[in-house]
Chain A
């Protein structure tokens, strides 16, 4: 079974600065997807960014970018130019690319605090 680990319970960043969230995972599969979700106090999970394991290029979405290291099974999220609205819980998630593997396996989450 796949596992996802987020070792940072909480990270604090100054507004306009950069913060990096860590995520490691364990799998024996070669084809899979990785995600970062944002969960604000409203509880709605919002997809921030996704990465296909077969793509070597790191995904980027505006101020959000990832550092995907397949051999090390590491998938970190960098938030640049942090804004107050970025404050939330962030979850790393794994999904198998197999036909039956549509479920998401989540890490324990990292709380991001943004200081004005």
Chain B
């Protein structure tokens, strides 16, 4: 079974530029999460989708971050404009309904210069 796919693996941009990350969850997983992991810290939830609807985006900085999951499968997370403090690893996870276990992708490491 294929795991959670994310791209790109690495991205370097300058502050005030925009960037987008892509996530393809495990087939059949209705729930998708985006986490932000700043260096030296544990992941923090940014947004949770159930199919194509947002369940929880209370920690998403909505003035610069946006996310969508239009067809209830793939998801994109966008940052516009990026700030230095956005440098982090962005992890995508999807949840298996029967066990409630979350499976994580390899993450995208973003460096903002």
Contacts and interface: CB of A to CB of B under 8 A. Distances in A.
- The B interface, classified by DSSP as helix, strand, loop or mixed, is strand
B101 A102 contact: no
Interface in B72-112: 89, 91, 93, 95, 100-102, 104-107, 109
A109 B41 contact: yes
B45 interface: yes
Interface of A: 4, 33, 42-47, 50, 91, 93, 95, 100, 102-109
Given A43-B89, A44-B105, A103 B40 contact: no
Contacts of B33: 103
A107 B43 CA distance: 8
Interface size class of B (residues with CB under 8 A): 20 to 34
Contacts of A104: 35, 43, 45, 102
Contact of A102 (B42, B48, B106): B48
A63 B28 CA distance: 32
A109 B56 CA distance: 24
B43 A103 contact: no
Given A4-B42, A102-B102, A106-B42, 15 more contacts: A42-B106, A43-B107, A43-B109, A44-B104, A44-B105, A45-B91, A45-B104, A47-B101, A93-B42, A102-B55, A104-B45, A104-B102, A106-B43, A108-B40, A108-B41
B101 A100 contact: no
A75 to B, nearest CB: 14
Nearest to A101: B56
Contacts of A91: 42-43
B44 interface: yes
18 contacts: A4-B42, A43-B91, A43-B107, A44-B107, A46-B104, A47-B101, A47-B102, A100-B55, A100-B56, A102-B31, A103-B56, A104-B45, A106-B43, A106-B44, A108-B41, A108-B42, A109-B41, A109-B42
B106 A44 contact: yes
B107 A107 contact: no
Contacts of B55: 100, 102
